Amino acid sequence: MVTRLAEPIRHSFTREDWYALAGTGVLADDYRGELMEGEIIDMPPIGSEHGGCVKWLAGFFHARLGNSAVISVQDPIRLGDFSEPQPDIAIVRPRDDFYRHGHPIPTDILLLIEVADTSLHYDRTVKGPLYARYGIPEYWLVDLIARRLERYLMPTAMSYIHNSRHLPGESVSPGFAAQPGMPNLVVPVSGILG
């Protein structure tokens, strides 16, 4: 007699499930995780080079954008009911409530930036396509290993159509800088990578 084994069943968590779980105290107060396509993903600790790069980016954009945009650092964004990633930097449209009544959604987002060393493969193959699928207009991946900036533009349902790589000594202007009311921005890759 052949016994048929049952296939494992995955349970996808919604954003509401995620917050309910966090509210139970099951997760430590300092737990670093993200909800990605219904799965809870443990995130690695942030090293000093990663942290310094994020601080430089936040300071650079804050000094140049002022009240033209909100610079969000490692805060959640809402991508549908099953994903709430926490990009290293999210540059979002200004809102009077500073997003107190809801995390930014795709139409609020001007640019997302992930800084990666240990999470490089994940940020490139999981987060990048997710951001494209939700129509995030521009995504930068700071590759601390190869010492370069990867820029992704023109999102589709599966990925970004255009991507380019920029090295120290080069500069990049984010696409939103061409919008009315935005200052002209030129971001030096050398500054990002220190």
Please, what is the Cα angle at 140 between 139 and 141, to 5 degrees?
Answer: 125
Domain of residue 79: give its range: 15-21+30-193
- Nearest by Cα to 134 from 116, 151, 159, 152: 159
pLDDT at 190: 98
Answer whether residue 11 shows pLDDT above 80.
Answer: no
CA gap 10, 137 in Å, rounded: 31
Average pLDDT taken over every residue of the chain: 93
pLDDT at 1: 61
Position 1 in a domain: no
The string of pLDDT tens digits covering residues 146-182 is 999 999 999 999 999 999 999 999 999 999 999 988 9
CA gap 145, 174 in Å, rounded: 22
Position 117 in a domain: yes
Position 73 in a domain: yes
Position 42 in a domain: yes
Output the domain CATH number for residue 39.
Answer: 3.90.1570.10
Tally the domains of the chain. 1
Position 5 in a domain: no
Answer whether residue 18 shows pLDDT above 90.
Answer: no
How much is the pTM? Answer: 0.91
Answer whether residue 145 shows pLDDT above 80.
Answer: yes
| Cβ 189 vs Cβ 170: under 8 Å | yes
Position 7 in a domain: no
pLDDT at 2: 65
50 phi/psi in degrees, rounded to 5: -60, -50
